[in-house]
C-alpha cells in the first residue's frame, strides 16, 4: 500500500454533528471508489496486501483462518466468483463478516474473489 | 608479587564479566508480523539493539515476559510458542503447540505459560523452563481473552459458546470453574491490574460482561446491557482489543463495537459514566500508565489516525496521523513516552506524551505489537 494512492481518511471531529460526520463518510467513500477504479490494474500488489493484512486481521495473514474461517482455495472451492464477491460486498449477517461495499467496488470484490479462488492467476 | 598479579588478573576478569552483563529493565520486543522476526529495542536509547529471526507466522502475535525479564514467550498465529532469551539475543526453544493460536499468558509465579488456541479450540499450559506440556484443556470453541489471575489461575473465554472458564493450576491437575451465559460471541477480555475484575467485550450483542474473581463462585455481571439499542451498528473491519492497561483513574475505558465511540465504566460499580465519540471504530483504547490520558487507534480504513482523550474531561485533546496502518501502542512504564507501530510505513514512531512531539522514528518491517519488559510485573499483561 505504501506506493499507491491510499484513501484519504475523513477528519471527523468528535464534536461534528451526525450530518457532518455522515457527509464526511460519504465523501470518503466516494474517494475510495474512485481510488479503486483508477488504480486497480496497477494495484494488484496493493490489493493482495489488503487481502493478507486487512482481511487477514480475522482470517490470518496466510488466510488459513483465525476468528474468521479458512479462506484458502481448497476450502472455498464450492464457491463461484460471483457468490464469493457477493459475500465480500454484503457480508454475512449474524456473523462477524462485515459488508465491504462501503469501501470497495464490485470490480474490486470480483478481483479479490478470483484471487482467493485462484491466487496463481493474479 | 605473583599473588598480586593473580589478584589483578582476577579483578580484570570480574570487571569483564560485569561489562558483558545486560540490564533488561528498559528493553522491549517489537513483532515484525510479516517476516517472522522480532526487534530487540532499548527504550532509553530509543533504538534497535538487534533483530531475532525464525519465529514463524507472527500475524496477530503477542508475548509475555518471565519474572526476571530475561525470557520472552512469543505466541504466533501458526501455533508456535517461541522462547527468546533477550540477554543472549537468540531463540532458545520453539515448539508448534497447536494449529492456530491467538494469545497467551504467564502464571503469577512465572512457572507456567498458557496459550489459547482457535484450532483445536482450547488452552494448553506449558512448563516455562522446558516448554513441556503440563495440561491440555480442550474447550470445543475458539478460545479468546486468556489472562493470568492471582493464585496460579488462568481465565479464558469461548467465542462460540459464550462461557468463561477459570483454570486453577495450583494443584496437580487443573481445577476448572465454568461460568455460562457470558453473552454472545465474546471477542476479547481484560483483567484489572489487581486481578479482581475480568471483563469480556461482546461482538454478538451490545454491552460487556464482568466477573468478580474475588467471589468464590463468580456470576456474570452485565455491563451496559442496553448500550447501542435502536442504533444501527456500523461495520467492524477489525475487532477491538482489550488490554489491562485500559484503566484510567477509577474508570475502565473500553472500545465500543459497531459504534464509533469509547465507553467509560466505573470500575467498582460497573455502570456507565460517559461516552466519547471517536474518529472511527476503536481498536485499542489504552490509558497512559498514570491514567490521565487515553490513546485510541482505529480499524481499517481509518487506521492512520490516533486520538488522545483527557480522562478528566473525557474530551479529545489531540488528534494526529502517525502514518498508514497504526496497529499498536506501548507506553514507557511511567508513561512519559509512547511507541507506536505504523505497519505500512515500516516504522515505529516515538512520541512525548506531554508535548505530543515526535522524538524518534525506528525502522521496522511491518511492525505490530510492541512489548516492554516492564510487563513482566503486571497481572494480565
pLDDT over 70, % of chain A: 66
Nearest chain A residue to B59 by CA: give it. A61
Subunit contact A58:B324, Cβ cutoff 8 A: no
- Contact between A2 and B346 using a beta-carbon 8 Å cutoff: yes
Distance from CA of B57 to the nearest CA of A (A): 8
* Spans in chain B with pLDDT lower than 70: 1-20, 229, 244-248
**Residue B344 with chain A: CB contacts under 8 Å:** 1-2, 49
**Grid coordinates standing for B54?**
525464525
Task: Report the pLDDT value the prediction gives residue B252, as an integer from 0 to 100.
Answer: 85
Spell out which residues of chain B touch residue A49, defining contact as CB-CB under 8 Å. Answer: 344
Give this complex's ipTM: 0.81
Query: Has residue A7 got a pLDDT over 70?
Result: no
Strands B282-287 and B272-277: unpaired
Contact status, residue B365 vs residue B347, Cβ threshold 8 Å = no
- Grouping H, G, I as helix, E, B as strand and the rest as coil, residue B195 is coil
pLDDT level of residue A12 (50, 70, 90 thresholds): very low
pLDDT for B295: 96
Chain B contact present for A9, CB below 8 A? yes
Q: What pLDDT was estimated at residue A8?
A: 39
CB contact under 8 A, A103 and B102: no
Whether residue A98 lies within 8 A of chain B, CB to CB, comes out as yes
Q: Which residue matches cell numbers 476479547?
A: B188
The beta strands (E) that lie in B120-196 are given as 122-127, 133-138, 143-149, 153-158, 164-168, 175-179, 186-191
The nearest CA of chain A is from the CA of B195 a distance in Å of 26
Beta-carbon separation of B235 and A91 below 8 A: yes
CB contact under 8 A, B239 and A12: no
Please tell me which of the candidates B33, B119, B302 has its beta carbon nearest to residue A9: B302
CA distance B216 to chain A (A): 31
Chain B residue numbers with beta carbons less than 8 Å from the beta carbon of A67 are 102, 118, 142, 144, 159, 187, 239
Nearest CA in chain B to A65: B100
Of B57, B203, B315, the CB nearest to A62: B57
| CB of B299 closer than 8 Å to CB of B279 | no
B273: left (phi over 0), alpha (psi -120 to 50) or beta: alpha
Please report residues of A whose CB lies closer than 8 A to that of B237: 54, 57, 98, 100, 103
Residue of B117, B120, B237 to mutate, interface with A, max A Cβ within 10 Å: B237
Distance CA(A15)–CA(A85), nearest Å, equals 36
Q: Does A68 touch chain B (CB under 8 A)?
A: no
- CB of A69 less than 8 A from some CB of B: no
B100/A103 Cβ within 8 A: no
Task: Say whether B100 and A65 touch across the interface (CB within 8 A).
Answer: yes
Query: A45-71: per-residue pLDDT in tens?
Result: 889 999 998 999 899 888 988 889 999
Evaluate if residue A11 carries a pLDDT over 50. Answer: no
Q: Which of B341, B353, B348, B261 is nearest to B303 (CA)?
A: B341
Q: Tens of pLDDT along B289-347?
A: 999 999 999 999 999 999 999 999 999 999 999 999 999 999 999 999 999 999 999 99
Q: How far is CA A30 from the centre of its chain?
A: 15
For chain B, the residues whose C-beta falls within 8 A of a C-beta of chain A are 33-34, 57, 59-60, 77-78, 100, 102, 118-119, 142, 144, 159, 185, 187, 203, 235-239, 276-280, 300-302, 304-305, 307, 315-316, 319, 321, 324-325, 343-346, 366
Contacts of A29 in chain B (CB under 8 A): none
Q: What is the mean pLDDT of chain B?
A: 92
Q: How many residue contacts between A and B have a Cβ separation below 8 Å?
A: 93
Instruction: With CA atoms as reference, report the closest residue to A84 among A51, A43, A54.
Output: A51
| CB-nearest partner of A32 from B277, B301, B343 | B301
Residue of B250 and A79 predicted with greater confidence? A79
CA atoms within 13 A on the CB side of A75: 10
- In this complex, which of B100, B238, B315 lies closest to A57 when CB atoms are compared? B238
Q: Which residues of B touch A12 (CB under 8 A)?
A: 279
CA angle A107, A113, A114 (to 5 degrees): 90
At residue B83, the pLDDT reads 98
- How far is Cα B103 from Cα B110, in angstroms, rounded to an integer? 16
Amino acid at each position: 500500500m505504501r506506493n499507491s494512492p491510499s484513501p484519504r481518511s475523513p477528519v471527523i471531529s468528535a464534536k461534528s454533528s451526525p450530518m457532518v460526520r455522515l457527509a464526511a463518510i460519504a465523501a470518503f467513500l466516494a474517494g475510495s471508489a474512485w481510488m479503486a477504479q483508477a488504480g486497480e490494474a496497477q494495484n494488484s500488489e496493493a490489493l493482495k496486501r489488503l487481502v493478507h493484512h486487512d482481511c487477514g486481521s480475522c482470517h490470518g495473514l496466510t488466510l488459513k483462518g483465525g476468528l474468521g474461517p479458512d479462506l484458502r482455495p481448497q476450502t472455498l472451492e464450492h464457491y463461484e466468483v460471483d457468490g464469493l464477491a457477493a459475500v465480500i460486498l454484503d457480508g454475512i449477517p449474524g456473523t462477524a463478516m462485515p459488508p465491504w461495499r462501503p469501501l470497495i467496488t464490485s470490480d474490486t470484490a470480483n478481483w479479490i474473489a478470483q484471487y482467493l479462488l485462484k491466487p496463481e492467476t493474479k | 608479587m605473583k599473588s598480586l598479579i593473580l589478584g589483578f588478573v582476577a579483578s580484570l576478569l570480574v570487571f569483564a564479566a560485569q561489562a558483558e552483563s545486560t540490564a533488561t529493565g528498559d528493553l522491549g520486543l517489537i513483532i515484525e508480523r510479516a517476516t517472522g522476526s522480532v526487534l530487540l529495542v532499548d527504550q532509553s536509547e530509543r533504538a534497535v539493539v538487534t533483530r531475532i529471526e525464525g519465529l514463524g507466522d507472527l500475524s496477530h502475535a503477542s508475548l509475555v515476559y518471565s519474572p526476571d525479564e530475561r525470557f520472552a514467550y512469543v505466541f504466533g498465529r501458526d501455533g508456535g510458542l517461541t522462547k527468546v532469551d533477550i540477554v543472549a539475543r537468540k531463540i532458545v526453544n520453539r515448539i508448534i503447540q497447536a494449529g492456530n493460536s491467538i494469545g497467551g499468558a504467564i502464571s503469577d509465579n512465572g512457572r507456567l505459560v498458557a496459550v489459547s488456541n482457535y484450532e483445536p479450540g482450547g488452552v494448553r499450559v506449558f512448563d516455562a523452563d522446558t516448554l513441556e506440556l503440563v495440561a491440555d484443556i480442550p474447550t470445543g470453541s475458539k478460545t479468546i481473552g486468556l489472562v493470568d489471575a492471582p493464585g496460579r489461575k488462568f481465565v479464558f473465554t469461548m467465542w462460540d459458546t459464550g462461557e468463561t472458564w477459570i483454570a486453577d493450576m495450583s494443584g496437580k491437575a487443573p481445577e476448572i470453574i465454568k461460568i455460562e451465559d457470558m453473552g454472545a460471541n465474546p471477542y476479547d477480555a481484560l483483567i484489572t491490574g489487581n486481578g479482581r475484575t475480568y471483563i469480556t467485550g461482546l461482538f454478538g450483542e451490545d454491552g460487556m460482561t464482568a466477573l468478580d474473581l474475588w467471589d468464590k463462585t463468580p456470576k456474570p455481571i452485565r455491563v451496559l446491557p442496553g448500550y447501542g439499542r435502536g442504533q444501527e451498528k456500523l461495520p467492524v473491519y477489525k475487532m477491538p482489543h482489550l488490554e489491562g492497561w485500559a484503566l484510567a483513574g477509577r474508570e475502565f475505558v473500553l472500545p465500543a463495537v459497531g459504534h464509533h465511540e469509547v465507553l467509560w465504566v466505573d470500575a467498582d460499580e460497573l455502570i456507565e459514566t460517559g461516552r466519547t465519540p471517536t474518529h472511527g471504530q476503536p481498536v485499542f483504547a489504552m490509558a497512559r500508565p498514570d491514567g490521565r490520558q487515553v490513546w485510541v487507534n482505529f480499524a481499517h480504513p481509518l487506521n492512520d489516525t490516533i486520538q488522545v482523550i483527557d480522562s478528566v474531561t473525557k474530551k479529545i485533546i489531540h488528534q494526529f496521523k502517525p502514518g498508514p496502518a497504526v496497529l499498536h501502542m506501548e507506553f514507557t512504564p511511567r508513561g512519559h513516552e509512547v511507541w507506536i507501530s505504523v505497519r505500512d510505513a515500516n516504522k515505529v514512531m516515538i512520541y512525548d506524551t506531554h508535548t505530543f512531539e515526535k522524538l524518534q522514528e525506528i525502522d521496522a518491517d511491518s511492525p505490530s505489537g510492541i512489548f516492554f519488559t516492564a510487563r513482566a510485573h503486571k497481572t494480565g499483561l
